[in-house]
Amino acid sequence: MQRRDFNRLCGGLLAGAANLSTSAMANTEPYPRSGLVYDDGTPVSVESLEPGTSCVFSYPYVTTPCFVVRLNTSAKRRDNWQGGVGEDESVVAFSAICSHKMSHPAKPISHINYRADKVSFYDRSGSKQEQANVISCCSERSVYDPVNGAAVLSGPAPVPLAAIALEVGAEGQLFAIGSSGADQYERFLTKFGFRLAMEYGVTDIRARVGEQTVATLAQQFSSQQIRC
């Protein structure tokens, strides 16, 4: 990490320390702090997110998509994961890059989506399950549990989605401050770089997001959402 990034991270952590509802875990890779905003510049707060909805935002690179999800339930801190932020611990964020073959939300279509409704799947013991509040990748049917750190519930995904650490600022705005887990960013950028440059309209696919990153409702980010 560059010194400039490190200094900004430390400054952000110190400034926000008194107001945080949740802080990053020790295992979090500290990427620069970036405030989530809607495309009109309005800050994204816990209250602005409807329960059962998700948005897509770029972090930590301008071309690496993540989900921020307002769950219908709380997500408790556990092991190496910070849990949900907000008073009801319902807001979580994860990389939207599937840990299997890196399926991800693209502008024309997304095979990986947060589902507030019940999804049917076979768990790892072969038993049929139905569960709401999951992230489902229909490419080869991996299912993740965002209430439990995006643990793998079903399918070929080898590991959980990378977790994005969130802070709640003094005014209630959500900030992304780091990433933990198997993030795959470099592999993703190498594999999809050419297409990402065109889709996001950037020349440097490895540019970090700035002080703000735009969050778009998932159903608006991708023209078509595949549900299975």
Interacting residues of 105 by C-beta distance below 8 A, sequence separation 6+ = 56, 65, 96, 112, 113, 218, 221, 222
Which residue type is seen at 92?
V
Interacting residues of 181 by C-beta distance below 8 A, sequence separation 6+ = 95, 150, 159, 160, 161, 162, 163
Measured from the CB of residue 111, what is the shortest distance to ligand FES in angstroms? 7
Measured from the CB of residue 78, what is the shortest distance to ligand FES in angstroms? 24
Of residues 137 and 165, the one with the C-beta less far from ligand FES? 137
34, β-bridge pairs: 176
Measured from the CB of residue 179, what is the shortest distance to ligand FES in angstroms? 19
Asked if residue 68 lies in contact with residue 91, where contact means CB atoms within 8 angstroms, the answer is yes
Burial letters 188-216, b for 16+ CB under 10 A, else e:
bbeebeeebeeebeeeebeebbeebbbbb
- Which residues here bind ligand FES, judged by CB under 6 A? 98, 100-101, 103, 137, 139-140, 142, 155-157
Instruction: Retrieve residue 129's tokens.
Output: 């399950």
Of residues 34 and 64, the one with the C-beta less far from ligand FES? 64
Measured from the CB of residue 212, what is the shortest distance to ligand FES in angstroms? 29
Of residues 159 and 202, the one with the C-beta less far from ligand FES? 159
Of residues 31 and 121, the one with the C-beta less far from ligand FES? 121
Reference 212, options 31, 20, 43; nearest CA is: 43
Measured from the CB of residue 188, what is the shortest distance to ligand FES in angstroms? 12
Of residues 140 and 204, the one with the C-beta less far from ligand FES? 140
